[in-house]
Amino acid sequence: MQTKDNVLIFGELLLRLSSAAEHFIASDQAVSIYPGGSEANVAASLGQWGIPVSYLSCVPDNPLTSNVLSYLEELNVDISKTIKAEGRLGLYFLLSANGLSSGEVVYDRKHSSFSNLKPGTIDWNEVMKGHTWFHWTAITPALSEHAALLCQEALQAARANNLTISVDLNYRSRLWDYGKEPIAVMPGLVDHCDVIMGNIWAANKMLGTSINSSVGRHTSVDDLRMEAAKCATEIFDLFPRCKHIAQTFRFMDQPTHNLFHGTYHNREGHYHSPVHETQRVVDRIGSGDAFMAGFIAALLSNAGGQKIAEYATNAGYRKLFVKGDFGNGTI
């Protein structure tokens, strides 16, 4: 997919450690290591689709980090914006091989190079030169109060430089541990955004939109789509700058069974993808990020509403069959 736009993505680079056994210790099974982080996952997909993309993070200067950054470069991601600093690379442990059983996540991100970033340390105007789009996620302001202030700084610069701004409302309850709830932080940040992706539950938690508490896996598809349209309408009312919204519905009944569908909304209408169902999931991790990447790509190509819904959903669904956090460029 060719485009004149250049996307800048900001977030923490992570390593994922996972094992087929749910007990790492006293297990003779090998532990797999994959590069990850929601924002890096989006960058990896866009790069493989031929969309100019730069990735900005802060990482330690060591051979392990160099290997990961080199891999991103192989996927056509510009990593020249990434900062090298003292600290460590953030980790997360997935207590299953692929998120198909319990999929419980344990984070080890404190005192990483990225978490040590402070407001005033990045020349945002310089970093944003040559870019037309800025993408961030709700994971970064969940890390600390100064990370939230760093996001505010970046978003103000993005608006001043006339970049389109997108956000993924990733909700990670275990990360919001510094005394503030998402609803106290996220609306002020999302107010800068042109493009919002998430789901009806994340929007309720982070933006204060209403939700029917009975809605879930066994709610009819038509009712889920109605709930998504209602949620989107509320978001448009709350955030006048927002022009595009996408939402996902992902349900897992059994380890390899997944239902996956999505919606797209603009101020003129509501659109939805078909429901995709599979009994052969390989790896659920990163499917939402692949959806986000597909959403950005479809918007950059000026696709129509129905095409946007289908393209983003297809990208997310295809990721279910790819090992690791990054997609493999299929759509």
pLDDT at position 227: 97
- pLDDT beyond 90 at 4: no
pLDDT at position 31: 83
**Lowest-pLDDT choice from 78-87, 100-109, 274-283, 310-319:** 100-109
Domain ranges of the chain: 7-319
DSSP 3-state helix, strand, coil percentages of the chain (rounded to 5)?
35, 25, 45
- Angle of helix 145-160 versus helix 182-190 axis, rounded to 10: 10
Write the DSSP symbol of residue 251. Answer: E
Rounded Cα distance between 41 and 290, Å, is 7
pLDDT at position 105: 87
Exposed, middle or buried by CB within 10 Å (0-12, 13-18, 19+), for 255? middle
What is the pLDDT confidence band of residue 330, given thresholds at 50, 70 and 90?
A: confident
pLDDT single digits (tens) 211-261: 998 898 889 999 999 999 999 999 999 999 999 999 999 998 777 889 999
Asked whether the beta carbons of 212 and 203 are under 8 A apart, the reply is no
Higher-confidence position of 105 and 50: 50
pLDDT at position 3: 62
Q: Which CATH superfamily, name and number, covers 7-319?
A: Ribokinase (3.40.1190.20)
Q: What is the mean pLDDT of residues 46-64?
A: 97
Q: What is the mean pLDDT of residues 291-319?
A: 98
Residue type, 19: S
- pLDDT beyond 80 at 28: no
- Closest residue by Cα to residue 243 from 254, 232, 253: 232
Q: What is the mean pLDDT of residues 21-44?
A: 80
pLDDT at position 312: 98
Rounded Cα distance between 272 and 235, Å, is 17
Beta strands in the chain (DSSP E): 7-10, 14-19, 31-36, 53-56, 58-59, 77-78, 83-84, 90-94, 105-108, 133-137, 164-168, 195-198, 244-254, 257-266, 269-272, 276-278
Pairing mode of beta strands 31-36, 53-56: unpaired
pLDDT single digits (tens) 131-174: 999 999 999 999 999 999 999 999 999 999 999 999 999 999 99
Rounded Cα distance between 76 and 88, Å, is 25
